[in-house]
Structure 1
């Protein structure tokens, strides 16, 4: 669950709804840059957070922080067990998509560096080696696809982690922009993003072939309802809302 707090409420966004935005972005990627595995990469973007499907049914209250748990602080022993199960499912459906998603979760696990995450990363590296031995794909192309997934994931998080229209300087993670994946490995370029009103995000540049229309689905739970009913019950009763957003590319920032 992605959660941010307002004065009188919490906004909660299910990870699968966040992944839907990631997939919409990847589906607009310039096809010639993704190559023959374009459908696999697009599926990876849509499905990379399927591990959260069970966890997001009933949000859990974080007593220490006095707010709902989010993906940032969810207990790792539970979270990484679900990550493994979700990747098992995705591997049965699409091994290459599972490879990309596994690499994404492994990167997050290595950043956390706990006993649970170290064990998870070790298992996932074995999974990745097995998929590589089976499919024998080009590693440079895989690296580009992985960086493409990271960009789509981060641009979606940009939509989900703060209220629409929030100035870029107020973002904890993205004030410095986003890495622009380069097919030949040359790096250093950054994509700048900026809200224009609350329904348009302007990107300074990007690998997308067109503007991207997507939907931000969320529930808003009042703090009083969370206190009186419990966060899980209040979340279930809250209305699922949708907010349309368009990414435009190549606009002057």
Structure 2
């Protein structure tokens, strides 16, 4: 399957640049296949679990709490990119893709992180997760 080949290639390339970044990307892509039942997806999942074990045994990574926080931030960045691509600039909550109307999977202090378009070029996150506003350039 082309998608799985590209996922694996992307993790390979990321791992070559940074084993820890490769580890986080492996966690991310493997999470898509966690409940898979079709052989190619199950094989991909198990191959990534093996990669993760290999990387953890070969490199000093942060503690598990830090890993989970950084993994959650990676997933949030993926969610944000999907939000931007799947919702027209300025879309109201009612116009948003259903995946995003109730916020993302990530939560802060028990509150789900949500995004909303403020206009044609500005998105607000609630709760705000950063020290200051920052621009994204396509």
Per the TM superposition, whether the score is higher than 0.5 is: yes
Q: Aligned partners of 1:124 and 1:102: how far apart in 2? A: 6
1:74-126 per-position Cα deviation (integer Å, ceiling 9, x unaligned): xxx11101211221121111000001111110011225542111100000000
1:149 aligned residue:
74
Which residue, 110, 133, 140 being the options, matches 2:34?
110
Indicate the residue corresponding to 1:125 in structure 2.
Answer: 49
Mapped partners of 2:83, 2:15: distance in 1: 28
How far apart, CA to CA, are the structure 2 residues paired with 1:128 and 1:147?
17
Query: RMSD value over aligned CA atoms?
Result: 1.7
The equivalent of 2:123 in structure 1 is 201
Higher relative contact order (CA 8 A, sep 6+): 1
Residues 181-229 of structure 1: per-residue CA shift (max 9 Å, x gap): 55xxxx632122211121111222132111120023xxxxxxxxxxxxx
Gaps of 5+ in 1: 1-76, 217-253
In structure 1, the residue matched to 2:2 is 78
1:1-253 to 2 correspondences below 5 Å: 77-137=1-61, 138-169=63-94, 170-180=96-106, 188-216=110-138
Superposition deviation, residue 171 in structure 1: 1.6
Answer 1 or 2: which has greater helix percent. 2
Q: Distance in 2 between matches of 1:95 and 1:133?
A: 11
Query: Aligned in 2, Cα 1:109/1:214: closer, same or farther, shift over 3 Å?
Result: same
CA apart distance, 1:180: 4.1
Question: How much does 1:163 deviate?
Answer: 1.5
**Taking structure 2 as the reference length, what is the TM-score of the superposition?**
0.88
In structure 2, how many angstroms separate the alpha carbons of the residues matched to 1:204 and 1:79? 32
Distance 1:88 1:178 in 2: 27
CA change 1:162–1:128 in 2 (3 A) is same
TM-score normalised by structure 1 residue count: 0.50
Q: Which has the higher strand share?
A: 1
